[in-house]
Amino acid sequence: MFDQVISNKRKSIALIVAFVLLIIGVGAAIGYVLKFGWIGLLIAVPIAAIGAITSYYSSDKVALAMAGARPADPAQFAQLNNLVESMAIAAGLPKPAVYVVDDPAPNAFATGRNPDHAAIAVTTGLLQIMNRVELEGVIAHEMSHIKNYDILVGTIAVICVGVVVIGTDIAARMLWFRDNDRSGGNPIFMVIGILTIILAPIAAMAMKAAISRRRETLADFSGVELTRYPPGLIGALEKLKNDQAVVRHHSNAIAHLYIESPSETRKSWLNRLFETHPPIDERIAALRSM
């Protein structure tokens, strides 16, 4: 498990670099296509730097705000707070901040930049349908994301993907309304620039989804290591599978943070490329094989 933490830290750094390079590439493409010259690149570099810094220090607050989370009152949500504290002790971590999302759909997520600055949020729907051992399994899963530094990668992706999507969307609109009489530039580079603007958001979303799918499976296994009771998480996943409610105020930007995809299941092979979670049946089968 220690090796996995080290590996995730390295991958976190690699992800930051990859997103910064992608944002710079998008800025260069926008500058060329819209005839901004080096101005586009000069604008993209500080935006990329600001995006990376903001992602590191503030993306947990952004994720919690986007989910509509509020602090879980220790008196009102005593069992939840107690389970989070016990799982933190089992993991050898400080207790993360505990939040509740007022939503009937059962779900949960962890966010933050490191174990000292982390939070776990659960929906009221999850608290209603889970018994104690099942809720413990869910909390252990989320605590594993914190322990393995998955939360850093996930929260970085929240803002970096947003920067890419918003930047390319603005560029596409400007390209549509720009003066078509302006000419010049290598047509091959022009095509490459336009394709970059079109494909960059797709690449960013695919990067986020591929990393998330693998880490969900790892968090299942490491969560069971914390509880020493696989039936708890298995029972929780079975209930999540059977519940058809969809999180009402979810955002695709933070979908990868949840224990289960907060949106409706999509079936086409192309959409599965962007799924942030492995199928629940596969996750249950893997846990039963332990």
Q: How many CB atoms lie within 10 A of CB 55?
A: 26
Task: Look over the chain and give the mean of its residue pLDDT values, rounded to a whole number.
Answer: 82
**Top-confidence residue, 273 or 145:** 145
The pLDDT of residue 183 is above 60 = no
Residues forming the active site: 142
pLDDT digits (tens, 9 = 90+) for 215-254: 888 899 999 999 999 999 999 999 999 988 878 766 666 7
Band (110; pLDDT cuts 50, 70, 90): very high
Q: How many Å apart are CA 279 and CA 283, to the nearest integer?
A: 7
- Tokens found for residue 71: 């602090």
* Residue 62 CA, distance from chain mean position: 12
Lookup: tokens for 178 = 């720009």
Please list, in sequence order, all residues whose beta carbon lies within 8 angstroms of the beta carbon of residue 37, skipping any fewer than 6 positions away: 31
Q: Which residue has the tokens 């929260």?
A: 155
Does residue 25 contact residue 19 with C-beta atoms inside 8 Å? no
Residue 10: its H or E element: helix 2-33
Structure confidence by residue, pLDDT tens digits, 269-283: 455 666 778 889 989
Q: What's the confidence (pLDDT) of residue 181? A: 47
Q: How far apart are CA 124 and CA 26, in angstroms?
A: 40
Give the pLDDT score at 44.
63
The answer to whether residue 265 scores a pLDDT higher than 60 is: no
pTM: 0.78
For the stretch 154-178, pLDDT in tens is 766 766 777 787 778 777 777 776 6
Q: Which tokens in the block code for residue 227? A: 């509880």
The better pLDDT of the pair 184, 203 is held by 203
d(CA 123, CA 138): 12
Q: Is the pLDDT of residue 95 over 50?
A: yes
Task: Provide the 3-class DSSP secondary structure of residue 164.
Answer: helix
pLDDT at 142: 96
Give the pLDDT confidence score for residue 77 in this predicted structure: 97
How far apart CA 52 and CA 221 sit, in angstroms, is 30
| Residues 21-48: tens digit of each pLDDT | 887 888 778 777 777 656 655 666 676 6
Q: Tokens for 123?
A: 């929906």
Q: Specify the pLDDT at position 45.
A: 66
